[in-house]
Amino acid sequence: MSAVESGKTTDALEKQIFRYTVASITEELEINITRTAYSPLIQEAQDYCIALMTPDFRPFMQSQASIPIFMTDMGEPVRDCVSIIGVEKLQAGDVFVTNYRSGQHINNVTLATPLFHGDRLTGYLAIRAHWADLGGLAPGGQSMASRSIFHDGTRYRGLRLMRGGELVPEVMATIQANTWQIEALTGDAMAQLSACVLGATRWQERVATRWSADEVSVLVEAQLKASEALARRAIAALPDGTYACERPWQFSLGGVEIDTTLRMKLIVDGDRMICDLSGMPPETDLPINAGSAGGGMAAVKLAFRYLAGGDAPADAGFFDALEVILPEGTIVSAKDDAPMAFWNMAISTLIDMFYSAIGTVHPELVPASHGGVIGAVMFAGKRPDGSWWRYVEGSTGGLGADQESEGYGPVQTLFTGNMKNIPVEVIEGRYPLRIRETWLDRDAGGDGLHRGGPACGRLFETLTDCTFDAYPQPVSPAPGLAGGGAGRPGTMHIKKPGCDAWTEPGGAVPAGTLIRQIGQGGGGWGTPRSHGANKDDGKGKVA
């Protein structure tokens, strides 16, 4: 007798077997992509995500060792692709490509493939990865001079890269013709494509041979409802009420000034939570916008996921108790054609605001703000053979302290999660760069009963003439909580050969230029016992 009968699950063990069976597919694909990709951002930093979703585009399993900000947000881009192609035209072995309507910079490219039980469509596998380059104003597509999504590079929408198991050569050739870095793009695209093929094979071997299409539908629905129930219990444990956070959002770099205010309101009502982002500033002509699905919605979902926790998959059911009010046209719900090269700048601040809103009333429940700024360095140049290289690395800061402990650090932002640093040996082996020094900035964390997490500093040296750019740097520090002090803002400066002064970066730099990058410290929690100010004696600084 089947463990799944008459439209309901009769065996709790079968639910668990199904859950870990589909998880085994995403886990194997993570290993496969990490092993076969070309770019360090995928190989080392694991800037990708894998999701399985239902025929109506509801994710029910997501990879766990990759970037967490891609929080059940791939349904809409895949839905858009299928609407272009036509669901009736899909066949086994199809793989389609999109970077449209993701709400992120267009470098985040999704490949997806339909999953079948015989002739019946039973779901989709989607894999998103950061492609090194899609053309645009500058190698890598990230330029503060961008004023339209068309400046950022090439967009793909509903193109079949593989049809019935065969590569479509004219589509691949067109993709290769629109990049500064053909070698990196081709290597990463092939790794992602191969993972889609492998994932569809594993679905047939591990799922379609054990459960019928109807049984899969029942098991997925049971899992989604269990995840929703867990989330509702987590919300019900919070005190009912209305919580609000208003935060200045200020950045500066090379003449680019960003000065606005972000506003968020949370309402907890029994086992329901509403997050109101209608107070977000309007989208701008600067390339710091994000779209709704991959921007504001994903940030709130990730913050809620961190808060609620629990042993549940990252699936669509987990967020059915969470309502997000997000009108179109803000910097985190921008329209499709808004420039989004630096789409991730506001994400970490939204996560911190989610906690700060609760912390204004119940500081014992949440941590202080973390050093959640990208602060990335971006190098690019030509090799002797005429091909282009590009290296990107974000800054590392400190987590906010909480009632129980000091902030941890240095780490990447909460939206990048467990993203790893790219090893020095890989950097120096593949790019004309030298890492002169790396140090721990212990004084970066805000003072408090529990001190905020430390940041990390790094000194780069260019070994050839190249261009250098960086993310705008924060003016405002990461706030403390419950009387704790703010973390120290991160900084970015360069010193060209023959110069004595450190200056703001931007533009072409000669060989021998030094670049000093320091992350932002996390906020402290609680009033310091000594009531003393943060010390800053310059320890660890580069003269």
pLDDT at 22: 98
pLDDT at 306: 94
Q: How far apart are CA 281 and CA 130, in angstroms?
A: 27
Q: What is the DSSP letter of 145?
A: T
Question: Can you tell me whether residue 135 is helix, strand or coil?
Answer: coil
Per-domain residue ranges for the chain? 4-226, 367-543
Radius of gyration of the chain (CA): 23
pLDDT at 538: 35
Pick the closest to residue 69 from 243, 305, 280 (CA basis): 305
Q: What are 506's two structure tokens?
A: 């931007």
Pick the closest to residue 446 from 370, 368, 372, 524 (CA basis): 524
pLDDT (tens place) for every residue of the chain, 543 residues total: 455 654 454 689 999 999 999 999 999 999 999 999 999 989 888 899 999 999 999 999 999 888 999 999 999 999 999 999 999 999 999 999 999 999 999 999 999 999 999 999 999 999 999 999 999 999 999 998 999 999 999 999 999 999 999 999 999 999 999 999 999 999 999 999 999 999 999 999 999 999 999 999 999 999 999 999 999 999 999 999 999 999 999 998 777 889 999 999 999 999 999 999 999 999 999 999 999 999 999 999 999 999 998 888 999 999 999 999 999 999 999 998 999 999 999 999 999 999 999 999 999 999 999 999 998 999 999 999 999 999 999 999 999 999 999 999 999 899 998 788 889 999 999 999 999 999 999 999 999 999 999 999 999 999 999 999 999 888 889 999 999 999 999 999 999 999 999 998 878 999 999 999 999 999 999 999 875 444 443 333 333
Residues in the chain, total: 543
pLDDT at 542: 32
pLDDT at 5: 55
pLDDT at 532: 46
For 86: left if phi > 0, alpha if psi spans -120 to 50, otherwise beta; the answer is left
pLDDT at 3: 55
Cβ contacts of 384 within 8 Å, gap of 6 or more: none
Give the CA distances from residue 74 to residues 52, 324, 450, in Å, rounded to whole numbers and listed in that order. Answer: 10, 17, 38
pLDDT at 349: 95
Residue 82: other Cβ atoms inside 10 A? 22
Q: Which residue has the tokens 């910079």?
A: 105
- Angle at which helix 12-36 crosses helix 213-236, to 10 degrees, equals 90
Q: How far apart are CA 56 and CA 317, in angstroms?
A: 13
Question: Can you tell me whether residue 296 is helix, strand or coil?
Answer: helix
pTM metric for this prediction: 0.93
Q: How far apart are CA 467 and CA 490, in angstroms?
A: 22
